[in-house]
Amino acid sequence: MADSASQVLLGSGLTVLSQPLMYVKVLVQVGYEPLPPTLGRNIFGRQVYQLPGLFSYAKHIVKVDGRAGLFKGLAPRLCSSAIGTVVHSKVLQPGARKKESSLEQVLKETSQEMVARSAATLITHPFHVITLRCMVQFIGRETKYSGTLSAFATIYREEGILGFFAGLIPRLLGDILSLWLCNMLAYLINTYALENGVSTMTEMKSYSQAVTGFFASMLTYPFVLVSNLMAVNNCGLAGGLLPYAPTYTSWLDCWSQLHREGNMSRGNSLFFRKVPAGKRYVWEEQRFR
C-alpha cells in the first residue's frame, strides 16, 4: 500500500513538471503554429529558417494566458496518472522475479507488463481524451471542456460511450509495440553484444534498457501522433477541424494522410524545428497582446 502511494506521489510530481512540455507538444502535433519562422542555426551551425521551439512557444502561451495557462488539462492528466499507476500495480502483482535474464523469462515478464499497461491505458483513456481537448481549446479560445466532470457529460451527450475512447487503438498498439521492441532489443544487446564477466558490463547493461526504450519510442512515435489527433478530431473544437485537420474516417485514414504529407514525425522534436521544404504556412494573427 505504501509503495503504491509513493508511486502515485512520484508520478503526480513528474506529471506536473512535464505538463508545459506536453502542452506545447500537443499543440504542435495538431499543426498549430502561432509564430512565424525565424532565421537561426541548426546543430551544424548552418543558417536555416526554424519554427519556434519549446521555449518560444511556451512564452507565447504565457503571453496569452499567463503562467497558469501552461497547465491547462492538468487535472484530468493527474487523475489519469494516479488511476493508471494503481491499476498497473494491481494487475501486474509483482512477485519474486528471477535473477536470470533467459529469453523465456523476458517473454513472460514482457507479456505480464503488456497486460498491466494495456489495462491501465484502457481505464484511463477517457481522462487522456479530456486532457488533450482541454489543451487544444487554446487554438480557438473555446471553453467547451472547462472541467473534468462537465467534460465527461459533454462527451457522453455528443458522442456517446465511444467518444471516451477516441484514438485508443493506435495508442494501445504503440504502447505494446514500444514495450516489446524495448525489451527484446535490450535482451539481444545484453546477451550477444555485451560479454559476461567484465566488471564494466554490469553497469552498461543497466543503461541498455533506457537506450533501447528511447529508440523504441522514436520508432513508435507515429502511433502517438495519430492517437492524439484522433482524440480531438471533429470534436467541435477549432483544433480538430480544418485548416488543422480534415475529418478522418478512421485512424488508418489519419495515418495514410499524414504519411502522404510527410508529417509522421510532427511534434516529435521541439528544438531545431526546420521549416519543411515546399511547405507554405498561414501564420496565426497575433490577436492577444
State pLDDT tens for residues 129-138: 999 999 999 9
Give how far Cα 39 sits from Cα of 25, 220, 257, Å. Answer: 22, 31, 29
Q: Is 237 helix (H, G, I), strand (E, B) or coil?
A: coil
pLDDT in tens, 245-273: 899 999 999 999 999 998 999 999 898 78
Kindly give, in sequence order, each residue whose CB lies less than 8 Å from that of residue 204, ignoring residues fewer than 6 positions away. Answer: 194
Q: Tell me the per-residue pLDDT of 221-247, one tens digit each, with 9 for 90 and over.
A: 999 999 999 999 999 999 999 888 899
**At which residue does the C-alpha cell 529508440 appear?**
215
When pLDDT is cut at 50, 70 and 90, the band that residue 156 belongs to is very high
Tell me phi and psi for residue 209, to 5 degrees: -65, -40
Q: DSSP assignment, residue 280? A: -
* CA dihedral sign, ordered 203, 206, 207, 212: positive
Strand order in the sheet with 47-51: 38-41, 47-51, 273-274
Which SS3 state, helix, strand or coil, does residue 236 take?
Answer: coil
Paired with 63 in beta bridges are none
Q: In terms of pTM, does the model score above 0.85?
A: yes
Residue 101 and residue 190 in contact, taking contact as beta carbons nearer than 8 Å: yes
- The predicted-structure confidence for 55-80, as pLDDT tens digits, reads as follows 999 999 999 999 999 999 999 999 99
Grid cell listed for 247:
475529418
Residue 286's pLDDT band (cuts 50, 70, 90): very low
For the chain, what is the mean pLDDT?
A: 86
By the 8 A CB rule, do 35 and 57 touch?
A: yes
What confidence category does residue 44 fall into, taking pLDDT thresholds of 50, 70 and 90?
A: confident
In DSSP terms, 80 is beta-bridged to none
Return phi, psi of residue 263, to 5°. -110, 20
Is residue 243 reached through a cis peptide bond, with omega within 30 degrees of 0 on the bond before it?
Answer: yes
pLDDT in tens, 88-97: 999 987 654 5
Cα–Cα distance measured from residue 253 to residue 241, given in angstroms and rounded to the nearest whole number: 15
Report d(CA 176, CA 252) in Å as an integer.
17
Chain centroid, CA 64 distance in Å: 24
Distance CA 232, CA 226 (A): 10
Question: What does the alpha-carbon distance between residue 84 and residue 123 come to, in Å, rounded to a whole number?
Answer: 7
* Lowest-confidence segment of 163-167, 176-180, 188-192, 227-231 by average pLDDT: 188-192
* Among candidate residues 273, 177, 167, the one with its CA nearest the CA of residue 226: 167
pLDDT greater than 70 at residue 282: no
